[in-house]
Amino acid sequence: MKINKVLAFDIGGTKIAYATVDRNGKILNEVIRHPTPAAPGAAAKLLKTIIAQFEDQIDAVAVSTAGTVDRTNSRITGSVGNMPEGYMDTDFKALSAKPVVVENDANSAVWAEHVLGNAKGHDNVILLTLGTGVGVGIIADGRLLVGKSGAAGEVHFPVRYDNNRLCGCGRYDCLEIYMSGKALSLEAKAAYKDDNATSHTVIEGLKQNALPAVTAFHNWQEMVKNGIVIFADIFDPEVILLGGSMAHFIDYKRLNDEANRMIVTTPFKLKEASFENDAGLIGAALLCVQKLEKKAV
């Protein structure tokens, strides 16, 4: 089965983006973004309506989504975060008469970076997406690493042991609660001594070189560096990419040099991810083509 054109979705807690994409990952029309509807079942209904408009022009549907996706690329099995109620039970295959291939958003994004982006040509790549939470995509020895159930790449292991910060998973001091955008907001509240301070306060404050902003950002960036060192030591990658809204503000030269001095594996390059918002769409489309044409991923 040759796949020339797919309708690709990127589904998150705040927006659903979609576009048609060719077999080489080129976006063929403008990416359209909808707010994610909150009512139970509304997201699936919206997807079905959009797919119906494109169905006669496409060979398949590719979905990049928040949440753990099973190894058959058909359903979500967990970790959906802030997705609306009922979304986890979406029957993706029933949304279209064409084949539907679903993949986790971090996995989709790292595949896009590996094939077309800043990790092109490298077979060992880590993408850390720093958003509200932390998304992890792993390419190991040229393959997308998903684990036995599709859940590989979680960052809910403790990085300190004194019950300092409660993580969204219900336990204390996971790497995620030190590396995410939420972590930067916690640093902001402490540095500004203001419960209303957030990561946005820090980003604004950095423009004026405000001391609390500089302090909060420094503390957060140090933890990002520790996270990078963990992945570099475990996977010995050529490249580690940072993506997501917070990735713009990182001091890459400094973190690259310092993290490379801390690791016991071999030197790697730290870079910003290449695709700002469309990595999920592009990666899901590329993976969809590979899977339906029965090529290795």
- Can you give the binding site for Zn ion, defined by CB under 5 A? 156, 167, 169, 174
Helices 211-235 and 199-207, packing angle to 10 deg: 110
Min dist CB 79 to Zn ion, Å, is 11
d(CA 84, CA 1): 35
Using an 8 Å Cβ cutoff, are 95 and 74 in contact? no
Residue of 103, 122, 58 lying closest to 270 (CA atoms):
122
Using an 8 Å Cβ cutoff, are 228 and 270 in contact? yes
d(CA 92, CA 18): 15
Nearer to Zn ion, 174 or 292 (CB): 174
Nearer to Zn ion, 167 or 273 (CB): 167
Min dist CB 171 to Zn ion, Å, is 5
β-bridge mates for residue 18, sequence order: 9, 32
Pairing assessment for the beta strands 134-140 and 125-130 based on DSSP bridges: antiparallel
Nearer to Zn ion, 133 or 237 (CB): 133
d(CA 279, CA 119): 12
Q: Is 282 left (phi over 0), alpha (psi -120 to 50) or beta?
A: alpha
Nearer to Zn ion, 167 or 250 (CB): 167
Q: What is the DSSP letter of 103?
A: E
Residue 45 has a CB neighbour count (10 Å cut-off) of 12
Nearer to Zn ion, 36 or 180 (CB): 180
d(CA 250, CA 154): 22
Nearer to Zn ion, 182 or 225 (CB): 182
Min dist CB 68 to Zn ion, Å, is 14
Residue of 156, 39, 103 lying closest to 111 (CA atoms):
103
Min dist CB 147 to Zn ion, Å, is 17
**Cα radius of gyration rounded to whole Å, the chain:** 19
Nearer to Zn ion, 186 or 279 (CB): 186
